[in-house]
Amino acid sequence: MSILGWGFRADKQIYQSKKPLKLTSKNGETVEFQQLVSNLPSANIKEKLNLHPLLFNGVLQSMYYYKGDFSDKFKIYYGREIFTFKDEGICSLDWVIDPETNEDFKSKYENNHPKDWPRLFPRTRFLSDEELSLRKHDSESTKPIVLILHGLAGGSHESLIRNLAELLTTGKNHGKFDVVVNLTRGCGRTKLTTGKLFNALAIEDIHEVLLDLKKRYPKRPIYASGFSFGAALLTNYLGMYGDENLIKAATVVGCPFSLGIASDVMRTLWVGKLMNPALVGFLCKVVKNGLGVLNAENPELFNKENLAKAQQFKVFEDFDNMFTCKTAGFDTAKEYYAKGSPENRLGAIKTPYLSISSSDDPATGKYLPIDKFEANEHISALETNLGGHLAFVTPQREFWCVKVIDEFFEAFEEIED
């Protein structure tokens, strides 16, 4: 499998432990996790994956994912809740809500939008106090929740996440799942209120959200799905919390298992050189928008001079060297990458975990820690040889990976906790 592969009929391969993880179905039968994954219709390794014929390599797949127009598809509506952490920082929780008429949506948007808050993405509005109260006092519900963690410059507005949300809430499951996208500090038009930036080891933020969800909804199972940077964050969380985590089953797509290798790939491959400036621009925008708060807490690091320097950077590793590593407690980006790489924590994962990736991913490279996958019976890794980074765009302009995720969570709904 090569990062420079060409074609539109992809092969699939699954890496799993030979030691079975035995689960119990709701009718009392024993189910092996490895077989459960192999039996997913979209993961069948005996069948080719048919991708869009005009997107015949990982570069085209990835560029179409980032630049393609999906405004005519996956018209998901979100209601936003602001979640406050113990340190007074905030994140946004974008809950999938029922579609609304233009007039109704506009009225609710204007009535509930906080003063001095950025405009939100299309079909996204703040929830009213009444709506929030209903969501926070629903302790008898048993409807499963899927928590989604977005990529580095992403959010609930991404076409891939909207596709997954649509499938989970209005697809064949007919609304079986409740979906919420966790927009981390400073992302998705979320304000920074403290001097803390997000990083790949910010697992306490995830845990605080999960604790609150479990307190609100003690009878509802929680699943999680992470994409790209969100996949790294989710993997680190699952490994660092082990048996204590609150997630029933998890999926990741396009996870950079080695942050150092991903950085090298993005810096050296020409497509990475195209993607890097956009990522740097996003990261600088986060700092610029929150500069007042950041400067008040750390004026030596966060100031106009350093921001001006960062805005000239061409690769995100330079940004990480200046800002991210320092706020994460490291001296250099390379040290941060070495300590923050998700592959370090694969052995400690105790939650059924499915990784989906492509060997022609131009953002992470073809590196996979296969030996670590096969050493942990809780892990299953599905790899294709075509599909790019997060893309896997089909002829129908949909994302194959979300079908796998939907089938995976649906299968786990037949498994006891």
Q: What is the pLDDT of residue 2?
A: 44
Q: What is the pLDDT of residue 170?
A: 84
% the chain with pLDDT above 70: 97
- Residue 264 CB partners (closer than 8 Å, separation 6+): 365
Q: What is the pLDDT of residue 91?
A: 97
Q: Which of 94, 320, 361, 406 is catalytic?
A: 361
Copy the structure tokens of residue 354.
């499915």
Query: What would the mean pLDDT of 241-245 be, rounded to a whole number?
Result: 86
Average pLDDT, the chain: 93
Amino acid at 93: L
Q: Which of 62, 157, 389, 406 is catalytic?
A: 389
Q: Can you list the domains of the chain with their CATH numbers?
A: 9-258+341-412 (3.40.50.1820), 259-340 (no CATH)
- Write down how long the chain is: 417
328 vs 235: CA distance, rounded Å: 17
Copy the structure tokens of residue 141.
């519900």
What would the pLDDT profile of 207-239 be if each residue is shown by its tens digit?
999 999 999 999 999 999 999 999 999 999 999
Q: What is the pLDDT of residue 102?
A: 96
Confidence label for 113 from pLDDT (cuts 50, 70 and 90): very high
Q: Is 207 a catalytic residue?
A: no
Q: What is the pTM of this model?
A: 0.95
From residue 16, alpha-carbon distances to 20, 38, 141, 358, 385 in Å are: 9, 10, 34, 16, 17
Query: What would the mean pLDDT of 166-195 be, rounded to a whole number?
Result: 88
Q: Is 139 a catalytic residue?
A: no
Q: Which of 228, 258, 341, 358 is catalytic?
A: 228
Q: What is the pLDDT of residue 65?
A: 87
pLDDT at 171 over 60: yes
Look at the alpha carbons of 131, 132, 138, 141 in this order and tell me if their dihedral is positive or negative.
positive
Higher pLDDT, 3 or 272: 272
pLDDT at 28 over 80: yes
Q: Are 274 and 258 in contact (CB under 8 A)?
A: no
Q: Is 113 a catalytic residue?
A: no
Per 3-state DSSP, the chain is made up of helix, strand and coil in percentages (nearest 5) of 40, 15, 40
pLDDT at 5 over 90: no
Question: CA-based diameter of the chain, in Å?
Answer: 63
| Angle, alpha carbons 399-401-403 (nearest 5°) | 85
Q: What is the pLDDT of residue 1?
A: 38
What would the pLDDT profile of 325-375 be if each residue is shown by its tens digit?
999 999 999 999 999 999 999 999 999 999 999 999 988 988 999 999 999
- Residue 404 CB partners (closer than 8 Å, separation 6+): 40, 42, 43, 251, 354, 356, 382
Confidence label for 123 from pLDDT (cuts 50, 70 and 90): very high
Confidence label for 175 from pLDDT (cuts 50, 70 and 90): low
